[in-house]
Structure 1
């Protein structure tokens, strides 16, 4: 819809987006091309920090003791504070060029990171909305404050629980969370009642500090040489035992109902090479998505117990450390209604013939008969939040109020928050066919395919911010609902406090996958050589 269909404040915001789309498209491609993974988004974060400062924001780098996080603030006088954020982490193992066939990026391993959701467009969409709202606030003298956060490591639900625990959200009056669509029934909509579920992750570090004490009697078999002794099992065996025992006991962790998932990632697997030495260090990370906090507690009770036993069996010590602990998302209908009104007026994303031609090229490369319109119909239409909620409820038991996981949920306990979904380019499948994931990744780097999504998101976000600051009712209604749901707001009787302590040390020093500079050039650490 044209910006002229709105009042002058919203029209100014939308006109700014329309006038700056070409430059913002180049900005998006910049972040997409950096494709840096969780906790290692150094260049992506630096780009946002520099750009926000040029736009007049005051920026704290490394907020919450996280090197790739930031907190940017801009004020136009005394008024409400509206929060939002960018994400910019990519996912290891998803390297893909913006071409209509399977092709990992030039110069890096096929195991390198790529933008999947894509967070490159998530960040630019939110960034666009906040810059457009700032422009309208300046042009029309709208009082208020914008707080724009840089949130690294979303794929580990990493930064937002830390920012929450350290008080960064306590001064927000409302917040806007945007994500490219994940559910076809909510391709262009907002969450209503069913928000994201808790996500807990913990690392277990096994060490074998005293392998010589493994067998105290009969340790030497006639030859006093370390290679002739029985070797302590060591840290690799401890991780193997932990991995297998937790697989065996998985069915005993929770009752057999409710959707939940437990995944593991081995960071270290020992450094003893092939010598007869006990590997001294190994680490395994467990990440859980579960509908309730109680379920999370039960799973990690089992994992903690398994870790202690496995360490003892392998002659190791074990230490555990939280990577993240998020809460369950708190709904706010008033915020959803405000964003939805603007979404209705703006309309769903619209794709050009150039985008459709790219989609047809992908279909052709896969042996799928090219379609006149290769995109799913769901991403090209709007769905009211309450209609999307019905689709959720048809799939879930009545007791389950939360599904999947995302750390935006920590915003919802500090200010009324809307979770906005906008349709991302997704191909329509023939009956019984499933497209490989690289097709979505490729379209995320193709401007004609991805730009309609984040520009639409930017318009909805900007218009929603203007409403919250000017219409006199939307913000008050959202805050009243927040107080009701929490039993009095922050600290209320039904309020859930952050699950990490205020002095929590962010998990930035583990051996996460990253790009490194070596005498051989810039390399991806898994593996070292580009393929």
Structure 2
């Protein structure tokens, strides 16, 4: 990349100027919308209110919206066209994480009426999605005012935390026919802050649920399949069968050993697990009939994901055989590793250079200092980390990222934007979110980052800047045919000819949307609306 490549591209076009003015005019709306989604705090595959909000908002803004796209109840696909021309892909994510319920407050407290175990936004996807929406509305306004031909496809992507929707949308064709795709994420690791990914993109992310079922406990211990003479099938002898809980426990422990053996603790590789269901009975004379254990695999290559899956399958088979159970594997996600596109990265980087890093004002500083004081720290004059307020060139960030990676490792960490990369030229960029300086030897508790992601004074600068970068980049691609041609030439070169080419990886999704599992969610009962695990125990 030359100095000219890194420079700006002259004056803003009239359309780009209109887009920036639109975002400035709607700044207060964006802030309120971000707070709304943050307060919903919904989690993977259960983002009902969030998806409903987006669908209603997009329709009010003149988009045609398909609800439940690709068979996913909380997904959507919104489209707007101003005539024949290039269509740019953007998206919203809006899922949070269980156990991260935090109010938009400078002290640790759950959102009103909930306990800490309810869902909450961590990255935060609340800001990610509203930045995408703000960018889309600005692009639309500019195209309408200046008569630019083309369109916008804005997808609603649920369950990103389990890498859920994008592999399914990809397999169903929702990213086909796009001129380019822009992918924004709040920064979550250094040096990927106020920069664009260059060569080392995210790797493969595979997730599955192992289901153990003990549906014939009376056969336990009888090689001929006959009961022990008891006339009642649910006799007390059936409780002697280990059952599904034991199968889950054996699977859990043996796979922990597998995890430690297969993956070194560096390079952004990981296997993590979560128990979705267990027990399915009170302490009566029956064994657990159903237990489910979810795994998430983050590895650089598909071959590694296949190897880990094969080992997990062997563990599941052994656990089931030992406990009088049977086992099933159900896919949650099979996402592909990412594909670089330097031409796209340049377009976004040039927009970032023109705009600069986000700026946090005195109100944001006061919030940060109040949090520090609430933790017993001496409030700092400048409480934010310096990386928030400066840009880092893509190649410089790449060089720092590579320091901790083996030369042979082509990808690091995991995110399902990577599935988009194989259908149109894609840029992945990161804008700073608020993060606090820490005194030596001190680590902030996780609620601090969550709260900063919900307080308007601290999160709005990120949302506004990301929306601006999206708008400028998209309009550049719509107005500049040479930029689009360069991105597509590189895409075809890297894939061996484009979709279906010799080096192109087709969608791996060969499963139905995994929405039927016991994913954590909010429920409404005679007790009112609460998290599925009640926030207050009787007598507490």
TM over 0.5: yes
Asked if 1:508 is matched to 2:521, the reply is no
Pairs within 5 Å for 1:43-442: 43-216=49-222, 226-227=235-236, 231-253=240-262, 258-442=267-451
How many pairs does the alignment contain? 526
Distance 1:258-1:298 versus aligned 2 partners, 3 A rule: farther
Aligned partners of 2:91 and 2:129 also within 8 Å: yes
Query: Does the 8 Å CA contact 1:468/1:475 hold for their aligned counterparts?
Result: yes
Distance 1:111 1:5 in 2: 50
Query: For residues 364-404 of structure 1, what are the alpha-carbon distances to aligned partners after superposition, in whole Å with 9 as ceiling and x for unaligned?
Result: 11122111110111011111111110110111111112111
Distance 1:248 1:292 in 2: 21
CA offsets 1:310-357 (integer angstroms, 9 cap, x no match)? 101101111111110111010100011001111101111000100001
Rounded to whole Å, the distance in 1 between the matches of 2:174 and 2:94 is 19
TM-score (norm 2): 0.94
Q: 2:39–2:111: 8 Å Cα contact kept in structure 1? A: no
> Out of 444, 448, 462, which is 2:457 matched to?
448
Q: Identify the range of structure 1 (239-248 vs 515-524) with the bigger mean alpha-carbon deviation.
A: 239-248
In structure 2, distance between residues paired with 1:339 and 1:305: 45
In 1, the alpha carbon distance for the partners of 2:386 and 2:535 equals 42
**Measured at CA, do residues 318 and 228 of structure 1 come closer, stay the same or move farther in structure 2, by a change above 3 Å?**
closer
CA distance in 2, matches of 1:412, 1:155: 18
Change in CA separation of 1:274 and 1:373 when aligned onto 2, cut-off 3 Å: same
Look up the match of 2:524: 517
**8 Å Cα contact 1:254-1:298 kept in structure 2:** no
Pair 1:313–1:120, CA change in 2 (3 A)? same
Unaligned runs of 5+ in 2: 1-9
> Which residue of structure 1 aligns with residue 504 of structure 2?
495
Q: Alpha carbon RMSD of aligned pairs, Å?
A: 1.9
User: Is the deviation greater in 219-228 or in 351-360?
Assistant: 219-228
Unaligned runs of 5+ in 1: none
Pair 1:212–1:343, CA change in 2 (3 A): same
**Which moved further from structure 2: 246-255 or 68-77?**
246-255
Q: Alignment partner of 2:174: what SS? A: coil
Decide whether the 8 Å contact of 1:221 with 1:229 is kept in 2.
no
Q: Distance in 2 between matches of 1:191 and 1:162?
A: 24
Distance in 1 between residues matched to 2:283 and 2:196, nearest whole Å: 55
Cα offset for 1:222? 10
| Length-normalised TM-score, structure 1 | 0.96
Name the CA distance, whole Å, in 2 between partners of 1:287 and 1:306: 15
- Change in Cα spacing, 1:321 to 1:75, as seen in structure 2 (3 Å) is same
User: Matches of 1:412 and 1:229 in 2, distance apart?
Assistant: 52
Mapped to 2, the partners of 1:453 and 1:116 lie a distance apart of 14
Distance of aligned partners of 1:528 and 1:105 in 2 relative to their CA distance in 1, 3 Å threshold: closer
Contact 1:233-1:315 within 8 A present in 2 as well: yes
* 1:460 matched residue in structure 2: 469
Judging changes above 3 Å, is the alpha-carbon distance between structure 1 residues 222 and 466 closer, same or farther for their aligned structure 2 residues? closer
Q: Take 1:343 and 1:106, find their aligned partners in 2: how far apart are those partners? A: 37
